[in-house]
Amino acid sequence: MSVLDKIFEKAKQNPQKVAFPEAMNEKMMQAAYEAGKDGYIIPILVGNGAEIKAAAEERGYDASVFTIVDINEEEYKNKVIAAFVAREDTRLKEKALGRRMQDPLYYAMAMQKVGEVDVTFAGIDYTTGDVLLAGQMIIGLKEGISTISSIGLCDIPGYEGSEGSLLAVGDSGVCTNPNPEQLADIAISACETVQGLLDWEPRCAMVCYSTLGSGQGELIDKVKEALRIAQEKRPDLNIDGEFQLDAAISPAVAAKKVKRESKVAGKANILIWPDLNVGNIAVKLIQQFGHANAYGPMLQGFSSIVCDCSRGAPVSEIKGNIVISAVRAAGLKN
Amino acid sequence: MDRKELEEKIIELVSVAYKTDNVTLETSFKNDLKGASVQMVALVSEIENELDATIMLADASACSTVADLVDLVEDEL
């Protein structure tokens, strides 16, 4: 059973309510419909109710699969606004939120913030920037976390690591040049993301060009400081370093280079890159030379799950990412 | 609200969002405040709440100084 099959199976056991603020987009509606009809999620389409209803009928979808939330319907909107402003962890007040909620993306996220849906799925018409900004404004960052970041899940043919062919890596997509505190938060968030999605015991390695002092310089100092902060903030998590990539994932190399006890060295299932240059290049190397499938990016650091889907993604990939986000949302409840 | 009142209000909101005193119209977001995007989100939210102006976060983030932000909000009022 592939990793995606396992995630799909997990979704079916506990389908989550997923809001779609881009329901009029044909690919998005199809992916939402297929994921809903197959029982992986409960799709909630947010937008102009009459338009969505007409489009769904025209496209031949069974209307009973969808719940449609009409953003022009005042009574429900006011209920969401009242619940939102009553929360202590929100910033916008009634009037400002009401204005923002004329936009389906903000409407869906406000529903998520007050628990009417479990996750918002967007990004096919909205840009990544739109989704990140709305997420910061409405959902907010997780307490104690200073930055939004992302991880990807790589399925690498022929790789025999501590989780078989799978390896989680981050951040390869969002945080350009994290300072030590941000880098620590990326590692902590990554541990929580893989716990929620895959039930792994996280073993997170902070990688750079040095293993336990074999190299020196400011690039390494940043990683060491990030490690210190991460370990201090979350001593319950297995976060270790600083390691070179081979010392992180190869037991033989770890045995030679890491002369102290480590729960991570040689068997890391998460790699944290020092910056986005490394992260972007590393993922491309894994894909180009390792012929890996890379799932994600999965956004992390928000107080609940915020998703961004690739604008050029085919329906099958969108569906996969919808289901991944639903399983992450379910994992967050545990 | 006249320009002077708007300037004072925005200086007050910037001081709260970035938890710092000594904010002036010449204060630079990048060089003086060195804030993360989280603080800019807090600032934009407060501007929306207090001044009834919806400004785009991207536009606010593009402001170099507090005076630029006052110009942006003034256009929206």
Residues A236 and A324 grouped into a single domain = no
The dihedral through the CA atoms of A154, A156, A159, A160 has a sign that is positive
Question: Rounded distance, CA B36 to CA B22, Å?
Answer: 19
| % of chain A at pLDDT higher than 90 | 82
Helix (H) or strand (E) holding B1: none
Q: Are residues A269 and A181 in the same domain?
A: yes
Q: Give phi and psi for A260, each to the nearest 5.
A: -145, 165
Query: Which residues on A lie below 8 Å from B44 (Cβ)?
Result: 137
Does the pLDDT value for residue A18 go beyond 90?
yes
Cβ <8 Å between A137 and B44: yes
| φ and ψ of A119, to 5 deg | -155, 150
Residue-level pLDDT at B21: 86
Give A146's contacts in chain B (Cβ within 8 Å).
36, 38
Whether residues A286 and A190 share a domain: the answer is yes
Same domain, A263 and A324: no
Which residues of A are less than 8 Å from B45 in CB distance? 91-92, 96, 137
Residues A288 and A322 in one domain: no
Taking 80 as the threshold, does the pLDDT of residue B35 lie above it? no
Note whether A96 contacts B48, CB cutoff 8 Å: yes
The answer to whether A245 and A274 have CB atoms below 8 angstroms apart is no
Instruction: Name A215's Cβ contacts closer than 8 Å, sequence gap at least 6.
Output: A208, A209
Sign of CA dihedral A121, A143, A205, A277: positive
Mean of per-residue pLDDT scores for chain A: 94
Nearest to A95 among B37, B38, B52 (CB): B52
In the predicted model, is pLDDT for residue A328 greater than 80?
yes
Q: Are residues A129 and A180 in the same domain?
A: no
Q: B24 in contact with A at a CB cutoff of 8 Å?
A: no
Distance from CA of B53 to the nearest CA of A (A): 8
The token duo for A90 is: 């929100």
Do residues A244 and A161 both lie within one domain? yes
What band does A162 get if pLDDT is binned at 50, 70 and 90?
A: very high
Nearest to B36 by CA among A185, A246, A296: A185
Q: Write the pLDDT tens digit of every residue in A82-126.
A: 999 999 999 899 999 999 999 999 999 999 999 999 999 999 999
Nearest CA of chain A to the CA of B19: how many Å?
Answer: 16
Q: Is A133 in the same domain as A220?
A: no
Residue B54 touches partner A, C-beta closer than 8 Å: yes
Same domain, A165 and A257: yes
A36/A85 same-domain check: yes
Residues A97 and A43 in one domain: yes
Residue A41, strand partner residues: A16
Q: Would you kindly state where each structural domain of chain B is located, as residue ranges?
A: 3-76
Q: State how many domains chain A has.
A: 2
Q: What is the mean pLDDT of residues A285-313?
A: 87
Does the beta-carbon distance from A137 to B46 stay under 8 Å? no
Can you give the residue range of the structural domain that contains A35?
3-140+303-333
Which one of B36, B49, B54 has the shortest CB-CB distance to A93?
Answer: B49
Q: Residue-wise over A27-63: b if at least 16 C-beta within 10 A, else e?
A: bbbebbbbbbeeebbbbbbbbbeeebeebbeeeebee
> CB count, 10 Å around CB of A72?
10
Interface of A with B in 53-112 (CB under 8 A): 91-93, 95-96, 99-100
CATH number at residue A60: 3.40.50.10950
CB-based contact B57 A133, cutoff 8 Å: yes
Q: For residue A15, is the peptide bond before it cis, meaning its omega torsion is within 30 degrees of 0?
A: no
Q: What is the pLDDT of residues B5-22, one digit of tens each?
A: 999 999 999 998 888 888
Confidence of residue A173 (pLDDT cuts 50, 70, 90): confident
Does the domain made of B3-76 have the CATH classification 1.10.1200.10? yes
- Cα(A271)–Cα(A318) distance, integer angstroms: 25
Q: At A47, list the tokens.
A: 């937008």
CA distance A167 to chain B (A): 30
What CATH code is carried by the domain that includes residue A259? 3.40.50.10750
Interface pTM (ipTM) of the complex?
0.75
The whole-angstrom distance between residue A128's C-alpha and the CA centroid of its chain comes to 13
